[in-house]
Amino acid sequence: MTQHRTEQTKPARKNERRSNPWLTRRRYALRYGRSRLNYLISMVGIEFFLYSFLMRLPNWMISLATLVIMTTRTGEVSLGTYGAGIIALASAMSHRTYRRLSLIFSKRVVIFISATLNIPAVAFLLVQMLSFGPNRVGGDIMTFLIAAALAGVTTSPLGAVMRSSWGQRYLENHDRRMLNAATAFESLLDLVALPLAAFLVGIIAIFGDLNAPLYAVIIIDLLGILYVLFRHNTIQPVGTLIRDLYIAQSHNHGTHRLAWIPMLGIACLGVCLGSTQTMLALRSISQDSVLNVGFYLAAMGSAGTVTCIMMNLSRARVSTWQGWLVLGVLLTLSSLLLSVPGDSFWLLVTLAIYGAVIGGGLMAIESIITMLTAHTNIDLAQSTAQATYIAGLALGYVWGGVFGSRFGFQSALLVPVIASAAYFIFAHLFGYRWRILYEERLKPLPEELTLKG
């Protein structure tokens, strides 16, 4: 009888080993993410998703390429950081304007005009940068800064425009599943665009000319224009009544009382990333190996891209103050590690860890903002968060350049450490306010239901 019982338990134990709960959850999460993506593709098509992702890259590539090119030509980093910061800041300030214009006119008109104007703006910026020599000889600084502002203003604001489009679609069909899936993948595309743009700028700078990233931006703009002209039927307009209703509801719904805290948190992440990229440019100049910036950006960008994709597909629960707090600790520790490595290999490893943590931090903030926002106003909140993130990136460029040019590239590492500590403090503040509002106000159980010893 004992032998018979043992034979019966063997297959059960084997099945238990096969059905690992963690693997089962990940398998279901991947299946769920795939089903959401297929649902959106069935609505707009795979070509439109590729186009939507491709047109987000110039916004980041122009800033990074400006930093690398100006650092190489002038032999210093201050002017390049000012140019990259102005590009990012001008792009952030234009997001709300482009979103408003897309509601007044149409998405096709806004995307077509911005992509068309961005081509001469990028060409003008490149001409101004090529006029500079070592120690800023031969170029006009004010004209260069104006060219940088024009290049930033004319970048295609596809993220903000598409979020308003999904919000209007939700008012038209009231499909909550569509809205949740669309906002999740729009956030994923925005988060992946920056590290992937860093990866592309690094690879193109290594295997091509230093000016080649801006050539790639012009090619991407041309592809976007051709897509709008010949595949415009995939960018469907929304009816006038739905558009007016969407505008009215966007004004009526207020923001959550805690929404300002994650906005400050995502600005801190932008400061971390911008100042780190400035530090990498300064380090490369001091070691006479400017092309190494490409390897550094590629390592940090690829790690952040993989982290964003894996966290989204695995449905990791980071939309809590506990998740934000843990990522704040990891971000602070990884920023401290940036000053440790002495050779290039260990710096690449450290940058990969740092990029992965920043990717996780971005996913956490986006998830928290989505959780705090009403469904009819979620696109406005995420667009504002994206603009705040870009503004933080601009501040990171400038502050890293100021510290690094005056006191050396090691001092530029103080900026990401301070910003990481601020990110951690805001996580504490958010958790404190969240517990006061939602956890400590819970009423105790009645006395007759409590356990008596």
Cα of 153 vs its chain's centroid, Å: 18
For CA atoms 336, 337, 341, 344, the dihedral sign is negative
Range among 29-33, 41-45, 112-116 with highest mean pLDDT value: 112-116
Helices within 338-413 (DSSP H only)? 344-372, 378-407
Confidence of residue 437 (pLDDT cuts 50, 70, 90): confident
SS3 content of the chain, % helix, strand, coil (to 5): 85, 0, 15
pLDDT at 232: 57
150-170: average pLDDT? 77
User: Is pLDDT at 219 greater than 90 in this prediction?
Assistant: yes
| Contact criterion met (CB below 8 Å) for 158 and 115 | no
Confidence of residue 446 (pLDDT cuts 50, 70, 90): low
| Contact criterion met (CB below 8 Å) for 134 and 74 | yes
167, burial (CB in 10 Å: exposed 0-12, middle 13-18, buried 19+): buried
pLDDT at 288: 55
Range among 15-29, 50-64, 127-141, 295-309 with highest mean pLDDT value: 50-64
pLDDT at 254: 45
Q: Tell me the per-residue pLDDT of 273-330, one tens digit each, with 9 for 90 and over.
A: 888 888 887 777 776 566 677 678 778 877 877 887 777 666 666 667 888 888 889 9
pLDDT at 16: 44
Least confident range from 56-70, 341-355, 388-402: namely 341-355
For CA atoms 416, 419, 425, 428, the dihedral sign is negative
Instruction: Count the residues in the chain.
Output: 453
Least confident range from 157-171, 230-244, 305-319: namely 230-244
User: Is pLDDT at 12 greater than 50 in this prediction?
Assistant: no
**More confident: 274 or 107:** 274
User: Is pLDDT at 449 greater than 50 in this prediction?
Assistant: no
What does the alpha-carbon distance between residue 362 and residue 382 come to, in Å, rounded to a whole number?
A: 12
pLDDT at 366: 78
Range among 2-16, 42-56, 279-293, 421-435 with highest mean pLDDT value: 421-435
Confidence of residue 195 (pLDDT cuts 50, 70, 90): confident
Contacts of 255 (CB under 8 A, 6+ apart): 373, 377, 381
111-126: average pLDDT? 91
pLDDT at 124: 94
DSSP 256: P
Q: Tell me the per-residue pLDDT of 32-69, one tens digit each, with 9 for 90 and over.
A: 667 766 766 776 677 777 888 888 888 888 988 898 88
Looking at the chain, the whole-number percentage of residues with pLDDT higher than 70 is 71
pLDDT at 180: 65
CATH number at 34-436: 1.20.1250.20
Q: What is the average pLDDT score of the chain?
A: 76
